[in-house]
Structure 1
Amino acid sequence: MQNVRWWDAAAITVTAVIVALSLIEPPYGPRDVGTWIVAGTFLLVHLAWGRRCVPEVAAGPHLAISIAYAVLLAVGTTFDPTFSIMQAFLYPFVWSTAPSVRSAIVANVLVAIAIVVGYTARFGLEGFATGAAVATLSVVFSIALGLWITRIAEYGEERARLLADLQAAQGQLAAMHRDAGVVDERARLAREIHDTIAQSLTGLVMVAQRTSRRLAPVEGEAAASAGDDVELMEQMARDALTEARGLVASLAPVDPDTGLAEALRRLSAGFERETGVRVTVTADVSGLDRELEVVLLRCAQEALANVRKHARATTAEVEVARLDGEVVLEVRDDGDGPGPGVAGDRGFGLAGMRDRVALVGGRVAFGPGDAGGAVLRVLVPLAGGADDAAEAAGTTTGVEA
C-alpha cells in the first residue's frame, strides 16, 4: 500500500473511529476533549508531514516522524485507552516507509513504548502491566509480519531482476541467431554464385577464346565479322565474370569478432586479391561495442564493392578514427569520382547504408575528394542514439544521405 492516497484514507479512518468511540458515552469531559485534540493533531501531522514519507524516506526523517507519532499515541492513550487503536495505522506505516529493516524495528519499538507510557500514565502500575502486555503482543506480531512481507518483497524483486536478465539474454541470443542467419545466407549466396554463374562465365570465356583461335586462320569478311562478335562475347563474359567475382567478394562473410581493425584488413586483402585494386587500411580504434563494429564493417564492405563497380580506381584507402565523440569511417579512392549527378544515382547503395547507419544514430555523406576520386564518410556517435553531430568536414563534401 504505497499509494499516498490510501495512507491518507487510512489516517482519516482511524481518526474518525477514535473520535466516534469517544462519542459513544456522553456526557463529555476534559479527557474526551483532549482525545479529540490529539486525534485532530495526529491527522494534521500526517497530512502536513507524514504523507511526505511515502513511499520511503531517509533514516533521519523516518526516525523523526516515528517519534512524533509515538508521542501523539502516548498522549492520546493517556486521555483514552481506546486511542491505542492508532497502532493499527502506525505499525504498518512506519514499517513500509522505513529505509531499512533496522529503522523499521526501531520505529516499531517506539510505538510499543508509547503504548506502555500511555497506559501507565492513565492507570498507574496496573496500567503498566496491561500496556506492556498489549505492546509486546502487537510489536512482536508487527515485526514478524513486517519481516515476512519484507522477505516476500525482496524475493519478488530478485525474481523481477532475474526475469529482466533472462529477457535481456534472450534478446541478445535472438540477435546473435539473426546475425548468424544473415552471415550463413551471405556465405551460401557467395558459394552459389561462385559455383554456378562464375564457373559458367569462366567456361564461356574459354569457349570464346578457343573459337577465336579457330577463326584466326579463316579469311573473308564473314570470318572477320564472326571474329569480332566472338571477341565481343569474350569481353562481355569477362566483364560479367568480374562482376560475379566482385559479388562473391562482397557477400563473403567477414568475422567481426576478431576486432574491427583485423576484420577490415581481411576484407581489404580479399578485395585486393579479387580486383587488383590496392587497398590500405588505417583503423585507430578499440573498445567499440560489437553492434557498432558490425555496422562500420558492413559499410566498408559495401563501399569497397561499389568502388569496384563504379570508380575504375587503382587504389583505395579505408580509415576509421575517433573524432569529437564520434567514430568516423572514410573510404577514399582515386577513381572517376561521383560525377555531376546525385550520389545515389550511381548505385552506390547509399539508401541501404543510410538505413543501417541510422539504426545506431549515425549519418552518411558522399562526394568528390579534394585530390579526385570519391570519398564516403560514415559518422556514428560513440554513445549511441540519434544525437546531432558536427557537419562532415575534411575531405568529404557533397550530398549527405
Structure 2
Amino acid sequence: MQNVRWWDAAAITVSAVIVALSLIEPPYGPRDVGAWIVAGVFLLVHLLWGRRCVPVVPPGQHLAISVAYAVLLAVGTSIDPTFSILQAFLYPFVWSTAPSVRSAIVANVLVAVAIVVGYTVRFGWEGLATGAAVAALSVVFSIALGLWITRIAEYGEERARLLADLQAAQGQLAAMHRDAGVAAERGRLAREIHDTIAQSLTGLVMVAQRTGRRLASVEGEAAASARGDVELMEQMAREALTEARGLVASLAPVDASAGLADALQRLATGFERETGVRVSVDADAAGLDRELEVVLLRCAQEALANVRKHARASAATVSVSATGDEVVLEVRDDGVGPGDAAPGDGGFGLAGMRDRVALVGGRLEFGPGEPAGAALRVIVPATRADAAARADAAARADGGTSATTETEASDA
C-alpha cells in the first residue's frame, strides 16, 4: 500500500476508533481526555510528517519517525490500554516505508518496546508481563508477515525482471532475424541483377560493337548515320551496365565477422576491380563493438558508391582511426568534388548515412577535400568490445542479463 491517501485514511480511522472506544463508558475523566489529546497529536504528526515518508525514506528519517510513533504509542497506552490498537497501523506503516529489512525489524522492535513501556507505566510491574506478552505476540506476527510479504515482492520483482529480459531477448532475436532477412534479400537482388540485367547489357554492348565493325566498311550518308546510332547505343549500354554493376556492388552484403579492417580491404578490392578506381585502406581501430563495425562498414560502402556514381575520381582513400573516445571514418577521393551537395540532397545517399550514424550517437561531415575532390567523415563514440564484455559480466554478476545485437539499416 504505497498510496499516501490510503495511509491517511488508515491514520484517521485508527484515531477515530481510539476515541470511539473511550466514549463507550461515560463519565469521561482526565485519562479519556489525555487519550483524545494523544490521538490528536498522532494524527497531526502523521499528516505533517509521517505521510511524507511514503513510499520509502532514508534510514535516519525512518528511524526518527519510528521513534516518534513509538513514543506516542507508549504515552497513549500508559493513559489508556485500548490505545495499543494503534499498533495495527504502526507495524505495517514502519515496515512498508523502511529502506531495508533491518530498518523494518528495528522499527518493529521499537513499537513492541513502546507497548511494554505503556503497560508497565499504566499497571506497574504487574502490567510488565501483560505488555510483554502482547508485544511479543504482535511483533513476532508482524515480522513474520513482513518477511513473507517482502519475499513475495522480491519474487514478483524477479519475475518482472526476467520477463523484461525475455521480451528484450525476443526483440533482439527478431531484429537479428529481420537483419538476416534484409541481408539475404539484398544478396538475392544483387545476384538477380547481375545474372539478368547486367548480362543482357553486356550482350547489348557486344552486339553494338560487332555492328559497328560491320558498318565500318560501308560508305554513304546512311551508313554514317547508322554508325552514329550504333555508337550511341553502345555508349548508353555501357553507362547502363556501369550503373547496374554499381547497384550490384552496393546491394551485395559485406561480411564484417573477420574484423573491420579485413572487411574494408575486401570492399576496396571489389570496388577497384569493378571501377578501376584505386582505393587505399588504412584501418587502425581494433576491438570495436560489433554493431559499431557494421555501421562504419556500411557508411564506407555507401561513400564508395557515391564515388562511383558522382566523383569521376581516379583514386580514393578509406581510413579509420581512434582518437580518445571517438572513432573516425574518413573517405576521400580526387574527383570533381561535392559542389553544393549536403546531407539530405537526392542522389548522394548522405541522408541515409546520417540517420544510420545518428542511431549510434555519431555525426556526419561532408564537404570538399584538400586539394580537390570530396571528403566524408563519420565520427562515432568508441564502443569497444572489451568494454561491452565487462559491462555484460557486471550485469550478470548483479543478477541481470544483457545481450548485444547488431542492427543494420538498408542503404538510402
Q: Give TM class, smaller chain.
A: 0.7 to 0.9
Tell whether 2:362 aligns with 1:352: no
Distance across 1 between alignment mates of 2:132 and 2:344:
87
SS for the counterpart of 2:329 is strand
String of CA shifts for 1:77-101, please: whole Å, max 9, x gaps. 1110100000000110111112222
Moved more, 103-112 or 40-49: 40-49
Tell me the CA shift for residue 277 of structure 1.
0.8
Could you tell me which residue of structure 1 aligns to residue 147 of structure 2? Answer: 147
Q: Distance in 1 between matches of 2:345 and 2:103?
A: 71
Which residue of structure 2 aligns with residue 4 of structure 1?
4
Q: Secondary structure at the match of 1:5?
A: helix
Deviates more, 1:117-126 or 1:353-362: 353-362
Match of 2:75, SS state, is helix
Stretch deviating more after TM superposition (124-133 or 71-80): 124-133
- What aligned pairs does 1:312-327 form with structure 2 within 5 A after superposition? 312-322=312-322, 326-327=326-327
Quick one: structure 1 residues 17 and 290, their matched pair in 2 at CA, closer, same or farther if it must change by over 3 Å? Answer: same
RMSD: 2.6
User: Using the alignment, how far apart are the partners of 2:143 and 2:188 within structure 1?
Assistant: 66
2:46 equivalent in structure 1: 46
- Structure 1 residue 22: Cα displacement: 1.7
TM-score (norm: length of structure 1): 0.86
Which stretch of the first structure deviates more once superposed, 190-199 or 7-16?
7-16
**How far apart are residue 159 of structure 1 and its match?**
1.1
Q: Which residue of structure 1 aligns with residue 127 of structure 2?
A: 127
User: Residues of 1 paired with 2:177 and 2:41: CA distance?
Assistant: 65
With over 3 angstroms needed to count, the CA separation of the structure-2 counterparts of 1:300 and 1:15, relative to structure 1, is: same
Determine the structure 2 residue equivalent to 1:392: none
2:281 aligns with 281
Q: Report the alpha carbon displacement of residue 351 of structure 1 after superposing the two structures with TM.
A: 3.3
1:156 matched to 2:159? The reply is: no
Correspondence for 1:266 = 266
Give runs of aligned pairs for residues 285-300 of structure 1, distance below 5 A.
285-286=285-286, 288-300=288-300
Residues 343, 351 of structure 2: 8 Å contact kept: no
In the alignment, the residues of structure 1 paired with residue 204 and residue 13 of structure 2 have an alpha-carbon distance, to the nearest angstrom, of 95
* Shift in Å, 1:358: 4.0
Structure 2 gap segments, 5+ residues each? 384-412
Normalized against structure 2, the TM-score is what? 0.84
Match of 1:249 in 2: 249
Counterpart AA for 1:353: M
1: CA distance, partners of 2:243 / 2:296:
24
Paired residues for 1:2-401 under 5 Å: 2-286=2-286, 288-322=288-322, 326-339=326-339, 347-380=347-380
- The 8 Å contact of residues 344 and 350 in structure 2, kept in 1 or not, is answered as yes
How far 1:154 sits from its partner (Å)? 0.4
Give the CA deviation at 1:322. Answer: 4.4
Q: CA deviation at 1:153?
A: 0.4
SS in 1 for 2:158: helix
**Structure-2 separation of matches of 1:57 and 1:236:** 78
Counterpart residue type for residue 240 of structure 2: A
Give the aligned length.
383
Deviates more, 1:209-218 or 1:69-78: 209-218
In terms of mean alpha carbon deviation, does 138-147 or 125-134 score higher?
A: 125-134
- Contact 1:338–1:346 (CA under 8 A) maintained in structure 2: no
Comparing both chains, which one has the higher relative contact order based on Cα–Cα distances under 8 Å and sequence gaps of 6 or more?
A: 2
Q: CA distance change for structure 1 residues 130 and 360 in 2, over 3 Å: closer, same or farther?
A: same
CA distance in 1, matches of 2:116, 2:34: 19
1:397 matched residue in structure 2:
none
Q: Secondary structure at the match of 1:256?
A: coil
Question: Is the contact between residue 342 and residue 366 of structure 2 (CA under 8 Å) also seen in structure 1?
Answer: no
Cα distance in 1 between the residues matched to 2:339 and 2:150: 71
Whether the 8 Å contact between 2:345 and 2:351 is mirrored in structure 1 is no
Letter in 1 for 2:194: H
Q: Percent identity at matched positions?
A: 84
Displacement of 1:291: 4.0
Post-superposition CA distance 1:223-267 (Å, at most 9, x none): 444344333333332222222112111111012344333322221
Structure 1 residues without counterparts, runs of 5 or longer: 384-401
Q: 138-147 vs 337-346, which deviates more? A: 337-346
SS of the residue corresponding to residue 371 of structure 1 reads coil
Greater alpha carbon shift after TM alignment, 211-220 vs 13-22: 211-220
* Distance (whole Å) between structure 2 residues aligned to residue 341 and residue 152 of structure 1: 62
Q: In 2, Cα distance between the equivalents of 1:323 and 1:346? A: 32
The range that moved more, 297-306 or 185-194, is 297-306
Q: Which amino acid aligns with 1:158?
A: E
- Distance in 2 separating the partners of 1:229 and 1:178: 47
| Aligned-partner Cα distance in 2 for 1:14–1:381 | 59
